[in-house]
Chains A and B, each alone.
Chain A
Amino acid sequence: MITIDDIFETNRMITENKLDVRTITMGISLRDCAHPNITKFCQNIYDKITKSAEFLVKTGEDIEAEYGIPIIHKRISVTPIAIAADACETDTYVPVAEALDRAGKEVGVNFIGGFSALVEKGYTKGDRTLIQSIPQALATTDIVCSSVNLGSTKAGINMDCVREMGEVIKRTAELTREQEALGCAKLVVFCNAPGDNPFMAGAFHGVSEGDKVVSVGVSGPGVVKHALEGMKGADFTEVAETIKKTAFKITRVGQMVAREASKRLGVPFGIIDLSLAPTPAVGDSVARILEEMGLEACGAPGTTAALAMLNDAVKKGGLMASSHVGGLSGAFIPVSEDEGMIHAVSQGSLSIEKLEAMTCVCSVGLDMIAIEGDTTAATISGIIADEAAIGMINNKTTAVRVIPVPGKKVGDTVEFGGLLGYCPIVPVRNQYSSAAFIARGGRIPAPVRSLTN
């Protein structure tokens, strides 16, 4: 029997601690849309997306109202366009991005992801066309997100692509300089990218997925922080137990929303991504959880250990709450999207090197970090190579989403708006060049731990 206290506790989690479901993401395969004529291809994908996701937003809003749980975003992910459009006889996929943008806006979603290429081992013609189209595509569209997977534990790291992506990020920043290089906030570079991630900017509908699928990404840093506020001085066994119990509740809500959305849309349930996804709002921060554990400021020695424990406890608690767990599943540390991280960078307690260490033990990577606009492409490539190496060796997903904002220097702040937040320019140790290292190209061979058979 549910008690009056249980009911008020749940509603307090929602109203005061900002428990929400971050996203319902519908994955849609575009493999059946291939056509040599790009105009016909664009029509095919527009038709398939608008037909498949016609009721996605309405369904999300209905569930939100009936259960009283906020569902912040409704999103779509599609088959990586480099695969779906490989047959097109064209030298640019910008019209494809525009078709995705139109289709996403038609059905009213917040983002559509999948302007993507998977090139950890090599390029096809479609992969090359896609990567070259990214800057223009992100400059001319609003809700399209792009990702490139350039490394994996199984295949190693494609260093040609590492070099190219440094340049692509710079060009994207240049083409969207009027909007503080916003294009780069919609572009992420991965190692070990999962094909069932519902979170942006890295969502795409993996090639091993079914025709359509519904996945849910949960949130809830505020709820975890609140639970820990009552645990002052408790030892880590107790802290971990509390996080597990809280993560269980958060994930159960996500599972319920996913099951209901799947039933109402007539689309199979994919996975729950049990990530702690922060927002720039006060009280919704992963950094503040780490500080609640006893660190004076996020970035102080001990931060990596605190994050490792948090990340692991969230997974343990969430696992039992969902029938299928997947995606990125861990704690996110996007700097501009987390009020506590922004504060930590502003006061100088958190550096990019500490963030890199933190990415070894949490779900993704160097995320939403604004850097000086004159950072060279080779330095950005060096950052990408380091992150990809962490992912490759540790058999985990890592990513880089840095934003070299033209004209901005350390001491300036950039504003991206909405969930993307704002960020002081983070200093990068770039007085020493990575150019000769990045210019080598080729492939870093797969590590010995890839040989598991």
Chain B
Amino acid sequence: MKLVVTIVGKDRVGIIATVSSVLAENNVNILNINQNIMEGFFNMVMIAEMSEDSKLQLGELQKILKAKGEEMGLDIKAQHMDIFNVTHNV
């Protein structure tokens, strides 16, 4: 299953490192990273892949990322990629 991880918040050192290590610990493979910083605000989108036989459910990963985000003052979401496919591809 392909996931979209979005991170929004005030820029600081170590955002990518922290999020990617959470994904690595949970065996989620990062396919693409895209980020920009506008007026000190950090916007990042990661496309990642969770294997179909993953023991971890998406719901659990969402909880872990949300908690990490709160620690760092960031809003981190992980969503099934299809919601973006349907709204932007015919």
Given known pairs A65-B62, A66-B79, the reply for A6 and B86 (CB within 8 Å) is no
Q: Out of A3, A62, A67, which one reaches B83, CB within 8 Å?
A: A67
Query: Considering the chains assembled together, what is the distance between the CA atoms of A68 and B62 in angstroms?
Result: 10
> Least Cβ distance of A429 to chain B in Å?
45
Within 8 Å CB of B82, what residues of A? 67, 256
Q: Is the CB–CB distance between B88 and A67 below 8 Å? A: no
**Is the beta-carbon distance between A7 and B58 smaller than 8 angstroms?**
no
Interface size on A, residues (CB 8 A): 21
**Cβ-defined contact, A249 with B43, below 8 A:** no
- Min CB distance, B5 to chain A, in Å? 10
Q: How far is the CB of A247 from chain B (nearest CB, A)?
A: 12
Whether the Cβ atoms of A2 and B43 lie closer than 8 Å is no
Binary contact readout B48-70 vs A (1 if CB under 8 angstroms, 0 otherwise): 00000000001100100000000
Does any Cβ of B come within 8 Å of A10's Cβ? yes
* Contacting residue for B79 out of A3, A9, A67, A252, CB 8 A: A67
Q: Which B residues are within 8 Å of any A CB, using their own CB? A: 4, 6, 34-36, 43, 45, 58-59, 62, 77, 79-89
Q: Which of B62, B79, B83 has the most CB of A within 10 A?
A: B83
* Closest A residue by C-beta to B77: A68
Report the nearest A residue to B83, measured CB to CB.
Answer: A67
Q: Is A11 an interface residue (CB 8 A)?
A: yes
Q: What is the bound-complex CA distance between A66 and B83, given in angstroms?
A: 10
A95 to B84, CA, bound (A): 46
* Closest chain B CB from A1 CB (angstroms): 9
Interface mask (A1-24 → B, CB under 8 Å = 1, otherwise 0): 011101111110100000000000
How many angstroms from the CA of A67 to the CA of B84 in the assembled complex? Answer: 9
The complex places the Cα of A7 from the Cα of B4 at a distance, in Å, of 8
Interface residues in chain A, defined as those with a beta carbon under 8 Å from any beta carbon in chain B: 2-4, 6-11, 13, 62, 65-69, 249, 252-253, 255-256
A7 touches B45 (CB 8 A): yes
List 15 other contacts, CB 8 Å, given A66-B59, A67-B79.
A2-B88, A3-B34, A4-B34, A8-B43, A8-B45, A10-B88, A11-B6, A62-B59, A65-B59, A66-B58, A66-B80, A249-B86, A252-B87, A253-B83, A255-B86
CA distance A65 to B83 in the complex (A): 12
Q: 10 pairs across A/B with beta carbons < 8 Å? A: A2-B88, A4-B36, A4-B45, A7-B4, A7-B45, A10-B83, A10-B84, A11-B6, A13-B87, A62-B59
A255 surroundings in chain B (CB, below 8 A)? 86
Chain A residues whose C-beta falls within 8 Å of the C-beta of B89 in the assembled complex: 2
Query: Could you say which residues of chain A place their CB within 8 Å of the CB of B79?
Result: 66-68
B81: nearest chain-A partner, CB-CB: A2
- Residue from the set B34, B36, B45, B87 with the largest chain A CB neighbour count within 10 Å: B87
CA distance A4 to B8 in the complex (A): 12
Separation of A256 and B88 alpha carbons in the complex (Å): 13
Could you say which residues of chain B place their CB within 8 Å of the CB of A256?
A: 82-83, 86
Nearest CB of chain B from residue A279's CB, rounded to whole Å: 21
Given contacts A4-B43, A11-B77, A67-B82, contact A253 B58 (CB under 8 A): no
On chain B, the residues within 8 Å of A252 by CB distance are 86-87
- What separation, in Å, do the CA atoms of A4 and B79 have in the docked complex? 14
Query: CA separation between A3 and B89, bound complex, in Å?
Result: 11
B61 to chain A: closest CB distance in Å? Answer: 10
Query: Which residue, A7, A8, A65, has most C-beta atoms of chain B within 10 A?
Result: A7
